Amino acid sequence: MIRKIFNLYLSSDKQLAQYIKGITGFAPSKLYLYKQVFQHRSKFSDPKTNNERLELLGDSILDAIICEHLYKKYPYKEEGFITELRSKIVNRKSLNEVGQRLGLTDQLNYNRKNTNDISKDMAGNTFEALVGAVYLDTNFNDTKQFIQKRILQNLIDVEELSQTNTDYKSQIFHYIQREGKTIEFRLAEEKSKSKRVYFVIELLINGEVIAQGEGFSKKAAEQNAAMNSINALGIKVEVQAK
């Protein structure tokens, strides 16, 4: 408690501490973690000081929290529904919007001359790093509370997303036909997960791997691969109400 009070009112980084409290709802204890959240690799090459490791951790924690949330929220829905809805919540576009609405890129310390194409995803990546920092500063349950109360209740409309239907495979096939390119779905890995067969599918365009998708069925994995490819290529998709 003393550390938190010091961070908020006496630390040289008290503005950062107050900003984090405004976002998360709690005063940060390990303030150095949040400083690292805003240190981009374009300016901080050392992995011990930039936010990439926090981003990786936050990605996994966020995925688990969202999956658990949907599992409990929709107890009678099948795996495919939960997988698709989770993907809609944690895809690049959605996370970038969350990061932008939180103003994370305004705090980000990066080299504006050396970011180029990666700049479009910096908001979402920084948000994932923030999730990683919150987890290390607190615990899984407190991180889950932050995501549920601050993100899912205020910034992401889960109900609206659940009422939309996007056939990503059809969208990517339309793109391929329009561009005169070739497409292939290739099984990259087949493994056991939770005592069930689990598939990893690669999507290739003109022989080049664009993205992967995962799922407990090849159909679900292909849909996820198509969705991830659409996000990677920046293709505008058409979403229809169910």
The string of DSSP codes covering the chain is -HHHHHHHHTSTTHHHHHHHHHHHSS--S-HHHHHHHTB-TTT--STTTSSHHHHHHHHHHHHHHHHHHHHHH-TTS-HHHHHHHHHHHHSHHHHHHHHHHTTHHHH-B--TTS-GGGGGGHHHHHHHHHHHHHHHHS-HHHHHHHIIIIIITTT--HHHHHTEE--HHHHHHHHHHHHT--EEEEEEEEEEETTEEEEEEEEEETTEEEEEEEESSHHHHHHHHHHHHHHHHTPPPP-EE-
Is 78 marked active-site? no
55, 59, 214, 222: the active-site residue? 59
128, 202, 214, 222: the active-site residue? 128
Is 59 marked active-site? yes
State the Cα–Cα distance between residues 190 and 39, nearest whole angstrom.
37
Catalytic sites, residue numbers: 59, 128
